[in-house]
Structure 1
Amino acid sequence: MDSSLSRPSSEPDRFLTRRVLPTLGLFALVYGAALALDYHINTAVLTITLMVTLCLLKMPVAIALIGAALLGALHGGLSVTEAIGTFNESLLTGAQVGMTYVMVGAFAVAIARSGLLDLLAQRIAARLDWREGATNKGVKWGLFLTLIVASLLSQNAVPVHIAFIPILIPPLLGVMNRLKIDRRAVACLLGCFISASYLLLPTGFGAIYLNEILLANVNEVGESLNLAVTADMVPRAMFWPVMGLIAGAAVCVFYSYRKPREYESVPATEIAMQASPKRPNLVQLAATVAAIGAALGCQLAFDSLLLGALVGFVILGASGVFRWREQDDVFTEGMRMMAQIAVIITLASGFSGVLGATDEIGSLVAATAALLDGNMMLGAALMLIVGLFITIGFGDSFASVPILAPIYIPLALALGFSPMATVALLGASAALGDAGSPASTITLGATAGLNADGQHDHIRDSVIPMFLHANLGMLLFAWGAAMVL
């Protein structure tokens, strides 16, 4: 057995000694000085700042949410028992969404077992002209179109989230190498169109984000402020922020990464490109289509993605796409894939509940509104930038909404924004950073597929390109939308 796996390393952890301890020490010093000078620190500001700081220091997001919530509650005057009780009571909403994620994860893995994505990759590779000097422009743009369509469908009609990327992309790396496609452009396309799909189309993951999270939080927080938003208003409010993502994708393909980029020809990618994929028979193909249709139909009929994913999973298991006795393994694999997101969403609801229990959000909103003095342009810009900062910290837009809603909705209304503009600001602020965070499932998924041959760096080739194109484009368009809606 490798001895390095059986005992801890004797070398000091440089990140711990150079980043974590000095940052936490500085945080404690500033906090202590404020208390000594009898300077009041708003509990909401302290709690969110501490949570983001812990996330940026690579603390697990779950621990950062719980730790920051408890410490913020103590600062706000709650006892430990009251803080824990409030946190636990607020978990219900997040747990409901989290369980939906778990079932969708199982459904995604079941669809992946059908072999349809492998077959699609082989069909694209078969169209490649191998003759010297061939440009293959039609194949290149056909490949881009395939990735765009797959990204859009993965969040709605076929809700498999990022599960399609590690299955579809590796067999195509040999094709991309022959075409000299810059993989940073592919990463941006995946990030922009995956985000655009769930932010605009209210089915699948879009139904979770737009209806179960964004709409629910807007109406819950806005109830005491006489704000009521209907389901049809949410996609209309998110249209222009999504157009920012589309513009970012266009810039990356036609300008930033349009030039050819050389990659080494790795034998593994050539073999994957020429290998025979698993070919589903007609019964399995029909069952897969039926499962996808049933999942979408149940969601539309009963407004339940959980039920749709469950029905689709059972159909795939009964059809022989995977063996009946392997159901536990498939479900467990899907649960592992979605467990982190489910846990973060659940804990974020508890975090939001503690923020509300401290009764200091109102004072923060009043102070910020007074500072901005009715300046809507500056207010919209600050809300979007803060949302970008928070979501970059822990990389999940779904979990950001319940954290931002108690602050952003009263502030937006106090500044005079319309209900549509308020929804656009909250929805875009929570989504900013999802496609540009090192911890985001979107960036991690893109890297998992594009780095199958070890030639795609997570930070330089996925995170930074997505940040520059997806986030900045969305920020500019969302700011403009808030001004005109």
Structure 2
Amino acid sequence: MVNAVLIAVLVMILLSLFRLNVVLALFIGALAGGLVAGMGYGEVISIFTEGIVGGAEIALSYALLGGFAALIAYSGITEVLVGFIIRILKKEQSKKARIVAKVSIIFALLAISIMSQNLIPVHIAFIPILIPPLLSLMNELGFDRRLIAVVLTFGLTFPYVVLPIGFGQIFQNTIVTGFQSAGVEIAFSEVAPALIIPAAGFVAGLAVALFFYRKRRYYKTLEIGGDTPKQINGKTIAIAIIAIIITFSVQIMTDSMIFGALAGIMVFFLSFQFKWQQLDDELVSGIKMMAYIGIVMLAANGFASVISETGHVNSLVDGIAGALEDQKVLIVISMLLVGLVVTMGIGSSFATIPIISSIFIPMGMELGLSITAIIAIIGTAGALGDAGSPASDSTLGPTAGLSADGQHNHIWDTCVPTFVFLNIPVLIAGFVAGMVL
């Protein structure tokens, strides 16, 4: 029997690699998977449409964040900061100064992206605000944006695997709940230590990417958005800083990116330091910049609904287990690959855990694997695919920032590099953990 989930994900990925629009690839992949599972055209379309509703909130959030990011750029604060750094580099004219600047930017982006998952849990909200204004500086320093995509995606995925706070607490609690649903009690404190080896795969992959993408890559320095105000002064910069603080504060208090972005936008309009018509033009321009990522997330939710409705995830795992019987090595590899396929299709590691845990836990115990090894396999299988999936916000977020000037391709410049340098090392590390723990 042909597996519908496998067909759906493969069709979606192959079409994306051939540069078909990701939204179209998601719909065609869902249609292919649904038809293979025996659904009719009408049923697939109905399930896909109903699934879209689940992504409406996140789509609106991203659009408003794009508008807010445009207003931040319009205030001139980032232009002042970037201009200051460029002047220092030109003044020193030394190779050492450029290296120091490049290393500093990499570590700063890495630290901010990691903190966005736990210390200040804003997830990808910082990317459209911070990255587009830095593109001219990155061009000046000769950055390869594929490296920045890997750095950002690392920071968005590594923390929830190994750090039991913020989004990591949610992810690891999902694993605990999966064990409870399978009738096995484990402590929350057991999860993080079991995921140290898989998390080491992220670190190793990042190190290799830093070396691989070390050479200069040339981009054109293009204007992004509209013109900044003719008079950049202390007031406009202060307003931008206040807006950023209020945006993140409201988001944390309300747990809503929508209201956080709205609060920041209103700071600009109520400051009366800018003409409302100009602010409105910039707001619309920013919304357009991020609207695409919202549309992809809507399509991804529809795709995930069709995959879940086929019921073929269970049959995929059962078929593998039956074919391999007691061959531990091959079964562990297959479990990880199933996690990779499912997460690549759904685009969310958090949503993958409940799907696979009910099958993987009994299978692992039947093989005689330790609880620690099973935790490592489930955690790795869930995390695999988040980096590299065309439908994951961990890749869509970096692309939205890096492609603000139209010179960064989502599939070939974000998804392929993150898949190669993050997913593959984590797959290897997860296999090692499943075998030795």
Query: Could you tell me the TM-score, scaled by structure 2's length?
Result: 0.73
Distance in structure 2 (CA, Å) of the matches to 1:382 and 1:313: 48
Matched residue, 1:141 = 100
Q: Which has the higher contact order (CA 8 A, sep 6+)?
A: 2
Max Rg structure: 1
Q: In the alignment, what sits opposite 1:339?
A: 291
The amino acid that maps onto 1:412 is: F
- After superposition, what is the alpha-carbon deviation per residue over 1:196-238, rounded to whole angstroms, capped at 9, x for unaligned? 3322557xxxx997689x6898799889656899999998887
Residue 53 in 1 paired to residue 14 in 2?
yes
CA contact (8 A) 1:47 1:69 kept: yes
Corresponding position of 1:126: 87
- The change in CA–CA distance for 1:229 and 1:297 in structure 2 (over 3 A counts) is farther
Structure 2 equivalent of residue 195 of structure 1: 153
The number of residue pairs the alignment matches comes to 416
Provide the C-alpha distance between the structure 2 equivalents of 1:209 and 1:376, rounded to a whole number of angstroms: 32
Equivalent position to 2:270, from 308, 318, 324: 318
Structure 1 CA distance for aligned equivalents of residues 12 and 355 of structure 2:
15
Ranges in structure 2 where 5+ consecutive residues have no aligned partner:
365-370
Task: Report the Cα distance in structure 2 between the residues aligned to 1:219 and 1:425, rounded to whole angstroms.
Answer: 14
2:367 aligned residue: none
Counterpart pick for 2:257 among 301, 305, 325: 305
Q: Deviations over 1:23-43 (max 9, x none)?
A: xxxxxxxxxxxxxxxxx3233
Provide, for residues 101-130 of structure 1, a one-character-per-residue CA deviation record: whole Å limited to 9, x for no partner. 222222222222232222222222232365
Alpha-carbon distance, 1:194 to partner: 1.0
Equivalent residue runs for 1:52-71 within 5 Å: 52-71=13-32
Q: CA separation in 2, counterparts of 1:98 and 1:457?
A: 20
* Structure-1 residue corresponding to 2:361: 413
Distance in 2 between residues matched to 1:292 and 1:196, nearest whole Å:
24
Question: Would the aligned equivalents of 1:365 and 1:410 in 2 still touch at CA under 8 Å?
Answer: no
Could you say if the C-alpha distance between residues 96 and 252 of structure 1 is closer, same or farther in structure 2, counting changes exceeding 3 Å? closer
Whole-Å separation in 2 of the counterparts to 1:473 and 1:389 = 16
Deviations 1:166-215 (A, max 9, x none): 421324534x2xxxx5x33x641x1233113322557xxxx997689x68
Give the residue type in structure 2 aligned to 1:94: G
Residues 10-409 of structure 1 mapped to structure 2, 5 A cutoff: 40-128=1-89, 135-150=94-109, 152-153=111-112, 156=116, 159-162=125-128, 164-174=130-140, 176=141, 183-184=143-144, 187-188=146-147, 190-200=148-158, 225=182, 243-253=200-210, 255-256=211-212, 280-319=232-271, 323-373=275-325, 377-382=329-334, 399-401=347-349, 408-409=356-357
Contact 1:191 1:442 in 2 (8 A): no
Letter paired with 1:337 = M
Q: Which residue of 2 aligns with 1:432?
A: 387
Amino acid of the structure 2 residue aligned with 1:291:
A
What amino acid is the match of 2:47?
T
Task: Give the distance between the partners of 1:160 and 1:471, measured in 2 at CA.
Answer: 24
CA distance in 1, matches of 2:229, 2:240: 17
User: Residue 408 and residue 170 in structure 1: after superposition, are their counterparts in 2 closer, same or farther (change >3 A)?
Assistant: same
Give the superposition deviation at 1:424.
2.6
**In 1: Cα distance, 2:80 partner to 2:185 partner:** 47
Relative to structure 1, is the Cα distance of residues 348 and 256 closer, same or farther in structure 2, using a 3 angstrom cutoff?
closer
Residues 1:348 and 1:285: Cα distance change in structure 2 (over 3 Å): same
Q: Distance in 1 between matches of 2:17 and 2:411?
A: 14
Paired residue type of 1:413: I
- Report if the CA contact (8 A) 2:154-2:422 is conserved: no
Unaligned runs of 5+ residues in structure 1 are 1-39
Could you list the per-position Cα deviations for residues 353-391 of structure 1 after superposition, in whole angstroms to 9, with x for gaps in the alignment?
Answer: 223333333222211223344556544544555666788
C-alpha change, 1:434 and 1:88, in structure 2 (3 Å) is: closer
